[in-house]
Structures are given as structure tokens and as C-alpha cells.
Amino acid sequence: MPKPGEFIPEEDSSHIPGLIRQGEGQTLEFKFEIADAKKIARTLVAFANTSGGTLLIGVKDNGAIAGMRSDEEYFMLDAAATMYCRPEVPFTTRLHDIEGRYVLEARINRSAGILHKAPDREGNYKVFIRVGDENLLPGGIYLKIHHLKTSGQPAQIQYSDKEQFLLHYLNDHGSITLNQFRKKAAISWHHAEQILVNFVLLGVISMDTTPRGHTFQLIDPEKSAEIIRKIQPLPSN
């Protein structure tokens, strides 16, 4: 990774104005400056945990190019990635000269199979994900699904009236939250969570994350029905 004194401006910077016009979002964030390495670490891990992303340093929130204030910006970025991301988040950088003002472009790839953590405002290391232009704490059900997917543990479904209720509800209403399912099916939080997790692992439903929480919907009603027909019910106790 280059040191600040070794930065050579990128010859092709034609894509930077186009990125700025897009505005901040799922895979793009602007930073006028990096004043807090711990805070920027949350952005790095959120990008790495979700879809990857690009950080433009020297650009204001409104898209105005202010330029990097000093070489210290790189050191702060490097400290964020190496000292405050667990595990460390790799990144690559390019320096762009935009009409005499330098913009540092940092690219972060999505990390496959692992979740990175960064300190929250209280200093506790937590998983962050990117949702729109926000870095959010994903919640327990997201972490459980990720763990089971990466561990290869098979889903286990007992196709009872609760599972049937969920599928019929999704077919009729489109989506449901964990709390809605728990209340409407009159089951415990743990039981509702387990059913949703297993259906996600089976590819029957998908989970959509928003700043307000998670919602679940059928991926493909016809395909879901076919998958359900193939499920061998677990023996009841």
C-alpha cells in the first residue's frame, strides 16, 4: 500500500465526477475529512460486510470537491482499517487531481464468508452493514442466518400449521416482520425466528434489511411451493 509521500495522481480520473453526481448511497460515501478513525472504521466494515464500496475523501456531503486537507487523511484511513476493524479491512487507493484539488479514492471489496466488526459509540466492537447511505447494526436474526450459511449447517423444518400460516400470509400480503409473525402466529420470539431463518436458508423466503428493520417475503411463490413439497417433516416429539 503506498505511503502519502509516494502518491502519484491517477492519470484517468474521468469517472470521479460521475461518481459524485450519483450521490452517497449503498456503495458510495463522501468524506470532507477523516477526523475520527473509529467512525470511519464503521463505514469500512459496513462496505466489506455488504456489497463493497468506494470512499471519496476530500468531497463534501453535498458533492462539492474541497480537496484533501493533508496527507494525514491517508494515515487516518490506514489506522481505521488496521487498528479499528476486526479483522482488518483491506482497501486500495487512488489519488485524483480534480481541477487542482486532490480527492483520495478508497475502494473496499466485499469480504466473503466473514463479518468484520468496528467499535460503536460506546467502544464495543459490533458488526455493521450498509443499508442505503447508512451504516447500521443488523440485529440477531441477520447474524444467525450468516453464521448458519457459512457453517453449512442444514435447515430443519417441521411443516406445521405455523409454517403453513407464514407461507399463506406472505402469499396474500407480500411481506412480514419477525414481530408481526410472532404475534400473528401466537408463538415465541425464538420459535418465530427459527422458522424464518430456516426458510431463508432453504431459499423459500428472502430477507430485506431497511433502516427500520428486517422484512421477509417469498422469493418465488411457485418455486417455494415446489420446495415445500420436497421437505420431509421432522418427527414430532
Q: What is the DSSP string of 36-59?
A: -HHHHHHHHHHHHHTT-EEEEETB
pTM of the model: 0.83
Copy the grid coordinates of residue 124: 464495543
**In whole numbers, what is the pLDDT of the chain averaged over residues?**
87
For residues 131 and 16, state if they share a domain.
Answer: yes
Over the stretch 50-97, which tens digit does the pLDDT of each residue have? Answer: 999 999 999 999 999 999 877 788 899 999 999 999 999 999 999 999
User: Please, what sign has the CA dihedral across residues 164, 166, 169, 174?
Assistant: negative
Cα 196 from Cα 192, distance rounded (Å): 6
| Structural domains counted in the chain | 2
How high is the pLDDT of residue 1? 38
- Domain boundary among the residues 136, 168, 194 is at 136
For residues 115 and 158, state if they share a domain.
Answer: no
DSSP, res 9: B
Is 155 contained in some domain? yes
Copy the grid coordinates of residue 134: 447508512
pLDDT higher than threshold 50 for residue 198: yes
Copy the grid coordinates of residue 29: 460515501
**Residue 113, Ramachandran bin (φ over 0: left; ψ between -120 and 50: alpha; else beta):** left
pLDDT higher than threshold 80 for residue 232: no
Where would I find the beta strands (DSSP E) of the chain? 28-31, 53-57, 92-98, 101-108, 117-119, 125-127, 129-131, 134-136, 205-210, 213-218
Using the structure block, give the residue that is written with the C-alpha cell 462539492. 64
The mean pLDDT value for 213-225 works out to: 82
How high is the pLDDT of residue 234? 46
Residue 235 neighbours by CB under 8 Å, 6+ apart:
none
- Domain boundary among the residues 136, 157, 178 is at 136
- Domain boundary among the residues 80, 111, 136 is at 136
